[in-house]
Structure 1
Amino acid sequence: MNRMSQSLILTLLGGAVLRITVLSTTYTDYVKPGFRPFLIAAGVVVLALGVIGLVQEWREGGHRDGPHDDGAHPDGAHGHDHSRVPRVAWLLCLPVFAIFLIAPAPLGAFAARSEEAPARPPVQPAEAYVPLAADKVTPMAIGEFIGRAWSDHKRTLSGKKVTLTGFVVRSAKKDRWYVARMQMSCCAADAIALKVAVLGAERPPDDTWVEVTGTWIAPKSGKIPNGTAAPELAADGVAEIPQPIEPYE
């Protein structure tokens, strides 16, 4: 890889970053929305470095190949650039190809399909859970639903209808499936799956985004420790929806 190739890759990489942050919201498939300003700044810097490198190579190439260039160089290279970097540097092309050609989707059912104990969201103090209206359906994040089901001793979920938004994940048990959402602290690499078991409704295909309306099913026994099984929801209705702009919680 010569300097011209290096500069070209930097230009493409910077352009790819700006494409998913400035021209679209694709970046939310990989990182939290708050990182957008930093990604834009990084994209601008990388793009500028690439363009500067291309311009310098073009000017130096024109000088070497000019009518007054006799081809004599101290290193005997006859005007050719023999500078090289390790071949592994070509791996920088992979993010560019991934963004422009593949456009990886956000994490979904495959990443959340494990039947192991579900991830526990951050525990909120009891006073953080405000009472829910009894005469209307309350839209709620899956993380909050799990937190109320596991940590709210006042059982503010009891008898209250809520709507959860997430994607469909099949279960090994025939009587249920999961509505899930991935929660990340920084980027998709550290995402964990938050899942609520849905009972009483036919399962849509995996990875279908849905709004599930229903009521919490309180555990029949207090002997099962919180965190060993996903909370359960008796579904009243399931509606398919487009993927949200921000797919993660």
Structure 2
Amino acid sequence: MRRETQNILLVLLGGALLKISITGTYLRYVKPSHQWLLIAGGTVMVLLAAVSIIREIRGARDEDGHGHVHSTRSAWLLVLPVLAVFLVGPPSLGADSVERASGNALAAPSTEGEGSELFPALPAGSPIALQLSEFSARAAWDKGHSLDNRRARLLGFVVQEGPDTYVARLAISCCAADAFPVKIKLLGRELSDLPDNSWIEVDATLRPGSATRANEYVPAVTTYAVRRVAQPEDPYEH
């Protein structure tokens, strides 16, 4: 690979990292705590490319003896398709990723005990705002039945699977590459008109005993209210 092409690719990749870090698009790929790493990496790439380009220009002038710089326009034109790939990011993962998984990828507790030992007490008030992953874990493993008769407020996107409607999120440990789906079945209302990937806020109560090994720990809830909302800046759970 020619040095000019290497420099151009460094500028593009570094610029792409800085752009997604500043605009918040990086949240489609990694956790919020990784922002400073992306900014640092992008800055280093751009600086390295700038230093290399300056050295190349000075070297070309010295070789010419007349201050003439050879044109590298063709290299820039060849890299335009790469520019589009780097700077136009794909959307975050959604309903398609959830539909490819049959159930919830929840890890069983490593210890046995009552719900008060495995899960912290829920706050007072109603409804309680909970992440889907926490709600599903409590529904499956909480021996203290802390969700029974408690109204929860759940935020996620719609997944339509045949006659069934789910609210779902993707949870990540590090980045989108390790994302796993969490979904909750919505009962008690006709919701088939909601399109896939539309974001909703749901007020609902758990149907006790609905999250079992047989259905891969997908709980069902009785739905009381559903509101269409905008996609949050960070679409994943952590």
Please confirm whether the aligned pair reaches a TM-score higher than 0.5, indicating the same fold: yes
Contact persistence 2:203–2:224 (CA under 8 A): yes
The answer to whether structure 1 residue 129 and structure 2 residue 120 are counterparts is: yes
Shift of 1:62: 1.7
Shift of 1:180: 0.7
Contact persistence 1:123–1:147 (CA under 8 A): no
The answer to whether structure 1 residue 2 and structure 2 residue 2 are counterparts is: yes
Larger Rg: 1
RMSD between aligned residues: 2.6
Q: Percent identity?
A: 32
Amino acid at match of 2:87: F
Task: Report the CA distance shift for 1:26/1:68 in structure 2 as closer, same or farther (over 3 A).
Answer: closer
| CA offset digits 1:42-65 (Å, max 9, x no partner) | 111111111111111111122222
In structure 1, the gaps of 5 or more residues are 70-78, 81-89
Contact persistence 1:17–1:40 (CA under 8 A): yes
Q: 1:111 aligns with which of 97, 113, 116?
A: 97
Shift of 1:68: 9.2
Task: Report the CA distance shift for 1:65/1:116 in structure 2 as closer, same or farther (over 3 A).
Answer: same
Q: C-alpha distance in 1, partners of 2:15/2:108? A: 37
Shift of 1:226: 6.8
Shift of 1:97: 3.0
Q: TM-score, normalised by structure 2?
A: 0.84
Q: TM-score, normalised by structure 1?
A: 0.80
Aligned residue in 1 for 2:24: 25
Describe the SS at the equivalent of 2:225. strand
Q: C-alpha distance in 1, partners of 2:44/2:230? A: 34
Q: C-alpha distance in 2, partners of 1:17/1:104? A: 14
Q: C-alpha distance in 2, partners of 1:189/1:19? A: 20
Task: Report the CA distance shift for 1:226/1:34 in structure 2 as closer, same or farther (over 3 A).
Answer: farther
Q: 1:165 aligns with which of 155, 168, 179?
A: 155
Aligned residue in 2 for 1:141: 131
Moved over 4 A (4+): none
Q: C-alpha distance in 1, partners of 2:91/2:134? A: 25
Q: C-alpha distance in 2, partners of 1:38/1:243? A: 25
Aligned residue in 1 for 2:87: 100
Aligned residue in 2 for 1:200: 188
In structure 2, the gaps of 5 or more residues are 71-77
